[in-house]
Amino acid sequence: MFKNVAELVKKANEENKKISEVMIEQEMFVTEKSREEIVEKMRQNLLVMEAAVERGITENVRSVSGMTGGDAVLLQDYIKKGQYLSSDVLLDAVSKAVATNEVNAAMGMICATPTAGSAGVVPGVLFGMKNKLQPTEEEMLNYLFVAGAFGFVVANNASISGAAGGCQAEVGSATGMAAAALVELAGGTPQQSAEAMAIALKNMLGLVCDPVAGLVEVPCVKRNAMGASNAIVAADMALAGITSRIPTDEVIDAMYRIGQTMPEALRETGEGGLAATKTGRKLEAQIFAREGK
């Protein structure tokens, strides 16, 4: 039904449908399942996301390695003090993105969007914006379908794998997905969703995947935090009427080509970048020394 963003937007406009509806119909066609089955499956995903966010912002979640945990709670406490520099909405989204990835690092249940390492951005933005936009459950589900539509395009035309394309393919893709989805949630047009995706992803190009000790913790958790903030700003820019000079599909293609030329040491091997710093190697040695006991 659609293979790229241009076809997705064209179909939505020609049929006077939201992107979420186009995605639901595509799922019905591909899986041969009913609308009810598809929506119910997404509802289950939403519940998993909500549970991870809630756990992360209320419990002292810690990873086995000890490298991550507790930052989502720190941000929530910081918001309550009212002395933040940005905004409570932005920081709430960031804290909930962090919460999700802290739960993931602690071996808790999350919903990969599009991967486990980038699972915080989409739900972080959604639940961070919930109080401001007051969406119905149906609108929240539609947000996820929009994110899925753009993730579908990236997965089929580039990559969502850090091992194949660096963190730009994981957190970068998630950031674009969240930005596009937020635009529809806020009442924007299909084209504005595409612009938001392009703006967000352009600013994640070249992001390497360099997990310390090979674990999806450092710097992954904080990259999801920044991805959430990037997505919200990109959505605002698109809703303001700002466009990307480079079409979305070309941005996605550029990401793919960048990933292909990225050194192996910067693609999830733990051999370069932050993983190869003095402190990164020290943490790695400490973690594996404990595991060897």
Query: pLDDT digit string (tens) for 85-117?
Result: 999 999 999 999 999 999 999 999 999 999 999
Q: Examine residue 133 and state whether it is found in any structural domain, yes or no.
A: yes
> What is the CB-side half-sphere exposure of residue 7 using CA atoms within 13 A?
10
The set of residues, in sequence order, having a beta carbon less than 8 Å from that of 188 and lying 6+ positions away, is 196, 235, 238, 239
Strand partners, 69: 62
Q: Examine residue 71 and state whether it is found in any structural domain, yes or no.
A: no
The set of residues, in sequence order, having a beta carbon less than 8 Å from that of 57 and lying 6+ positions away, is 72, 73, 76, 95, 96, 99
Alpha-carbon distance 39 to 24, whole Å? 8
Closest alpha carbon to 192 in 201, 202, 181: 181
pLDDT digits (tens, 9 = 90+) for 262-282: 999 999 999 999 999 999 999
Closest alpha carbon to 191 in 2, 40, 7: 7
Q: Examine residue 82 and state whether it is found in any structural domain, yes or no.
A: no
pLDDT score at 24: 98
Averaged pLDDT of the chain: 97
Q: Examine residue 95 and state whether it is found in any structural domain, yes or no.
A: no
Structure tokens at 251: 């941005």
> What's the sign of the alpha-carbon dihedral 161, 165, 171, 176?
negative
pLDDT score at 291: 66
Residue 266 CA, distance from chain mean position = 20
Q: Examine residue 169 and state whether it is found in any structural domain, yes or no.
A: yes
Checking phi first, is residue 243 left (phi over 0); if not, alpha (psi -120 to 50) or beta?
beta
pLDDT score at 86: 97
Alpha-carbon distance 74 to 276, whole Å? 28
Q: Examine residue 56 and state whether it is found in any structural domain, yes or no.
A: no
Q: Is 158 in a helix, a strand, or coil?
A: coil
Q: What percent of the chain has pLDDT over 90?
A: 98
Q: What percent of the chain has pLDDT over 70?
A: 99
Q: Examine residue 106 and state whether it is found in any structural domain, yes or no.
A: no
Looking up tokens 């998630």, which residue turns up?
A: 174
Q: Examine residue 97 and state whether it is found in any structural domain, yes or no.
A: no
Alpha-carbon distance 6 to 35, whole Å? 24
Range of the domain at 219: 5-50+112-292
pLDDT digits (tens, 9 = 90+) for 203-225: 999 999 999 999 999 999 999 99
> What's the sign of the alpha-carbon dihedral 130, 242, 200, 46?
positive
> What's the sign of the alpha-carbon dihedral 36, 197, 91, 119?
positive
Alpha-carbon distance 150 to 118, whole Å? 15
pLDDT digits (tens, 9 = 90+) for 118-138: 999 999 999 999 999 999 999
pLDDT score at 212: 98
Whether the CB-CB separation of 7 and 22 falls below 8 Å is answered with no
Whether the CB-CB separation of 26 and 71 falls below 8 Å is answered with no
The number of domains in the chain is: 1
pLDDT of residue 35 exceeding 90:
yes
Q: How confident is the model at residue 290 (pLDDT cuts 50, 70, 90)?
A: confident
